[in-house]
Amino acid sequence: MLHTPLTKLLGIRVPVVQGGMQWVGLPKLVAAVSNATQCVITALTQPSPMALRHAIRETRAMTDKPFGVNITLLPTINPPDYEGYAKAAVEEGVKIFETAGNNPGPLIKFFKSQGCLVIHKCTTIRHAKSAEKMGVDILSIDGFECAGHPGEDDIGGLVLLARAAKELKVPYIASGGIADGRGLAGALALGAAGVNMGTRFMCTVESSVHENIKQKIVESNETDTVHIFRTLRNTARVFKNKVSMEVVAIERRPGGAKFEDIRELVSGQRGRIVYENGDPDHGIWSAGITIGLINDIPTCQELLERMEREAEEIIGHISSLSVNPKAKL
Ligand code: NAD
């Protein structure tokens, strides 16, 4: 078994957690992942704080294991009632929160004042250190490989995690680019207490994402994502399709683009329909470059058992290299 500060803090067996995923972090998947390890409901996928309360109750009906809630603070078309979502989740008894995005200070302060455990996701060591000062319990260090928003500094996980090992005092987990036991073993070697995965969990039996999209992920490789919003300094890695390529073309026009020029194309409401009707070209949908590593649609339990087994084997092989330097991994 892989014992780390993460497994100890969260009381889980495998040092793997699922982070927030807009339109994907829904009760059925959260319950399935929480039955095997730790997971978060994505707050903003719910239309209101009241709907989040219902999602929390629905998840509880499917698992007796603890689960958390993700709140991400990024530019949105309709600014959400972040405080309302946070209060609703705390009042429903949620004790674990994943925060991400801009100016998380007030939210982190609120959750800590309520005795909650906070995992804060960030893409630079500078932001990680500042969150550490705010009292977060675990940092989720998100490399450039990740789905969604990688920040604007473009640092890959390998360097970011090695820097985290030198700079951070609180336990940190690796996020972005991990989809198998090899990635888990690599993250542990880089000093992480575990890993956070998104895209990999999207492609499981229990994920509500349409089967066509899961198949699309299985068929795709690591060159099938693209960054949008680069010119607006709100970079997001999404699946490369007709809509995302149109957005990139508009952003590259002489004189650039304003958000209004692409608003209809990138709207989250339009992206949500991709997961419902299974048309991969209907709108924008997030995907990490781990799609190059995803070749099947297992149950969450199967996935986690396999990752644990693979990581243990690899760690064992690495140890054996000192006695047999020709051993192949
Ligand atoms: P939305 O429909 O409000 O916006 C769609 C996309 O456009 C988002 O990526 C958003 O960041 C971006 N955007 C909106 N206004 C912008 C502006 N003025 N300038 C630049 N970019 C702008 O988003 P949604 O799909 O309803 O999602 C709600 C929020 O959750 C967004 O902020 C989104 O980025 C964020 N999000 C969360 C997660 C998560 O895991 N929790 C994952 C992906 C995105």
Are 243 and 142 members of one domain?
no
Identify the pLDDT of residue 319: 84
Q: Which of 212, 213, 184, 186 is nearest to 199 (CA)?
A: 213
Residue 250 has a CB neighbour count (10 Å cut-off) of: 16
pLDDT of residue 201 exceeding 60, the answer is yes
121-132 residue pLDDT tens = 999 999 999 999
Report residue 173: phi and psi, to 5°: -115, 155
Are 94 and 200 members of one domain?
yes
Whole-angstrom distance, CA of residue 325 vs CA of residue 327: 6
Given 208, 228, 249, the domain boundary residue is: 208
CA of 90 to the centre of ligand 1 (A): 23
pLDDT of residue 204 exceeding 80, the answer is yes
Identify the pLDDT of residue 321: 81
Whole-angstrom distance, CA of residue 183 vs CA of residue 146: 13
H/E stretch holding 69 = strand 68-73
Are 165 and 249 members of one domain?
no
Per-residue pLDDT band for 324 (boundaries 50, 70, 90) equals low
Nearest CA to ligand 1 atom 17: 75
For a pocket test of ligand 1, which of 21, 23, 41, 44 has the largest count of ligand atoms closer than 8 A to its C-beta? 44
Residue 146 lies in a domain: yes
Residue 264 lies in a domain: yes
Are 201 and 224 members of one domain?
no
Residue 324 lies in a domain: no
Residue 316 lies in a domain: no
Host domain of residue 86 = 5-208
Are 267 and 127 members of one domain?
no
For a pocket test of ligand 1, which of 77, 262, 273 has the largest count of ligand atoms closer than 8 A to its C-beta? 77
| Residue 210, both tokens | 């349409």
Given 176, 208, 240, the domain boundary residue is: 208
* Ligand 1 atom with minimal separation from the 148 CA: 43
Residue 309 lies in a domain: no
Are 178 and 234 members of one domain?
no
Identify the pLDDT of residue 79: 94
Are 237 and 146 members of one domain?
no
189, burial (CB in 10 Å: exposed 0-12, middle 13-18, buried 19+):
middle
| Residue 271, both tokens | 């992206």
Per-residue pLDDT band for 320 (boundaries 50, 70, 90) equals confident
Are 152 and 26 members of one domain?
yes
Nearest CA to ligand 1 atom 16: 75
Q: Domain total for the chain?
A: 2
232-289 residue pLDDT tens = 999 999 999 999 999 999 999 999 999 999 999 999 999 999 999 999 999 999 999 9
* Ligand 1 atom with minimal separation from the 71 CA: 41
Are 155 and 252 members of one domain?
no
- Rounded to two decimals, the ipTM of the complex is 0.96
Are 38 and 141 members of one domain?
yes
Whether residue 267 has its Cβ less than 6 Å from ligand 1: yes
pLDDT of residue 329 exceeding 60, the answer is no
| Residue 326, both tokens | 């020709």
Are 142 and 225 members of one domain?
no
Residue 253 lies in a domain: yes
220-230 residue pLDDT tens = 999 999 999 99
- Mean pLDDT confidence for 307-327: 85
* Mean pLDDT taken over the chain: 96
Residue 305 lies in a domain: no
233-244 residue pLDDT tens = 999 999 999 999
Are 134 and 255 members of one domain?
no
Residue 121 has a CB neighbour count (10 Å cut-off) of: 29
CB 141 within 8 A of CB 157: yes
For a pocket test of ligand 1, which of 21, 22, 251 has the largest count of ligand atoms closer than 8 A to its C-beta? 22
Domain with residue 47: its CATH number is 3.20.20.70
The greatest distance separating any two alpha carbons of the chain, rounded to the nearest whole angstrom, comes to 62
Residue 297 lies in a domain: no
Whole-angstrom distance, CA of residue 308 vs CA of residue 59: 25
Given 193, 208, 223, the domain boundary residue is: 208
Whether residue 196 has its Cβ less than 6 Å from ligand 1: no
Whether residue 261 has its Cβ less than 6 Å from ligand 1: no
